[in-house]
Structure formats: C-alpha cells, structure tokens
Amino acid sequence: MASFWRMKSKNDHGVDFWNGPERSGWLMKQGEYIKTWRRRWFVLKQGKLFWFKENYITRDSNPRGVVPVSTCLTVKGAEDVLNKPFAFELSTSRETMYFIADSDKEKEEWINSIGRSIVQHSRSVTEKEVVDYDSQRADK
C-alpha cells in the first residue's frame, strides 16, 4: 500500500510554501512507522499540507513530507479515538493521519482550513460548487 504522505524533494512540489501560506503552525504528528509523537511545523498552501522540523522556512527548506489534500476524504476531531485533547485526524480511503494541536481553538482552525482546502481541491466539485466549509460544518 502506497502511503498518502508523499516525501518529495524541495523542487518537486510546485508550491512556494515559504511565501504566504493559507495556514501554518505547530502540531504534534504521529509517525508513520514508529508511532511516536513529534512536534512539526505545518504549512497549508495550494491544496498541499507540508511539514518541517523547523518553523523557519525558506525557498531552500526541504519538507519532511506533504499530503495533497485532494486525496483526503475527511478531517475531523479525534479526541475520542486517541484519548488526547485537541486531537484531529485526516483520512484518505486507505489511511488516517493523526495530529494534536496546542488548543481547542487551534484544532478547530486547522480542521476548518484543511476542510476548506479539501473542498476547493476536490476533483469531484467544480469551481461554482465550492462552498464555505465552515457553513457546512455548522449544520452538523
């Protein structure tokens, strides 16, 4: 099974992640193979979620990994799954990746930002069908 977190070289992503991200900040991320939690700097831009070891990001920074949000189906809270506060998950049809934010507010902001990005970059909707993800979540 191919992992949905794609490791790419700094010149293989087509996104200027160091300049004007849609959202950026620290999150704890569970490792893919060794399930320890590590603090990583995340950048969401142009339908891709990048992570780095450091928060000082330049053109020469090399992402530790990247998830194209167009492959994601859901982003939602996961406190009950992990039994940890401020946890959320990002899922594809094959895998689920877990994160822990520093506060409930940050968790909700990440869920909303990633959710909007999933809707905007989904191959199943046209530009006219894109709606605000926050308003979709308010009904649930």
Helices (H), 59-129: 79-82, 104-121
- Residue 133 included in any domain: yes
- Residue 3 included in any domain: no
**Termini Cα distance of the chain:** 33
- Mean pLDDT calculated for residue range 14-23: 91
pLDDT band, very low/low/confident/very high, at 139 (cuts 50, 70, 90):
very low
- Residue 87 included in any domain: yes
- Indicate which CATH number applies to the domain containing 106: 2.30.29.30
Give the structural domain span for 128: 23-138
Q: Which residues on adjacent β-strands are paired with residue 30? A: 37
- Residue 13 included in any domain: no
Question: Is residue 129 packed enough to be buried (19+ CB in 10 Å), middle (13-18) or exposed (0-12)?
Answer: exposed
- Residue 4 included in any domain: no
Mean pLDDT for all residues in the chain:
84
Tokens of 68: 């194209």
| pLDDT beyond 60 at 73 | yes
- Mean pLDDT calculated for residue range 80-97: 93
The pLDDT of residue 2 is 38
The pLDDT of residue 54 is 95
| pLDDT beyond 60 at 4 | no
- Mean pLDDT calculated for residue range 16-36: 91
Structural domain tally of the chain? Answer: 1
